[in-house]
Amino acid sequence: MGEAMTETWNEELNMIGGAMGVKSPDELVSVKRSILDIVVVQQQKRILELEEKLSRTKKEMVDLEKQKERKCKDIAASSPNVKICTTNSTPKLSERKHVELHASVSTPKIPNSTIAKGKSKSAPLRSPVLSMLPRY
């Protein structure tokens, strides 16, 4: 087990060492930890963004429901002989994806220097090192 682990460390060290200038297993651990810290920060930012979007969407739904009720009351008041029926429906998956596509905010391109400092707004890492790291 110890030899296999050492071999894995040496392989990673050789792969990352060329790209990042890592020379020892301690530096490799430090690089991995830094990358994971950046990923954690980005994921936390993304979670906050999604929570804010969810909150806005819930508020919009409440506002639309109130607007629907007001319009129904207005129609009922102006036309007493008209019966008003409303239905709530869920859009098809293809319609939802179409709406999400147009509603999504485009992510600006962020230079690698700001990503390395952990200042990106949930932009994906553009580092070849991530693809070389083993998944835990």
* Rounded CA separation 124/107 (Å): 10
More confident residue, 33 or 128: 33
**Angle between helices 25-78 and 2-20 in degrees, nearest 10:** 70
Q: Where are the domains of the chain?
A: 2-100
Query: What number of H helices and E strands is found in the chain?
Result: 5, 0
Residue 69 and residue 41: Cα distance in Å, rounded? 42
Output the average pLDDT for the chain: 72
CA 60 to chain CA centroid, nearest Å: 21
Answer whether 0.75 is exceeded by the pTM.
no
Residue 3 has pLDDT above 70, yes or no: no
pLDDT at 87 over 50: yes
Pairwise pLDDT comparison (25 vs 19), residue with the higher score: 25
Given a cut of 70, is residue 128 above it in pLDDT? no
- Asked if 124 and 112 count as a contact pair (C-beta separation under 8 A), the reply is no
Q: For 26-84, how does the pLDDT look when each residue is reduced to its tens digit (9 = 90+)?
A: 887 888 888 899 999 999 999 999 999 999 999 999 999 999 989 888 888 888 777 77
Dihedral of alpha carbons 95, 99, 100, 106, sign: positive
Q: Which residue has the higher pLDDT, 67 or 135?
A: 67
Q: What is the pLDDT of residue 98?
A: 60
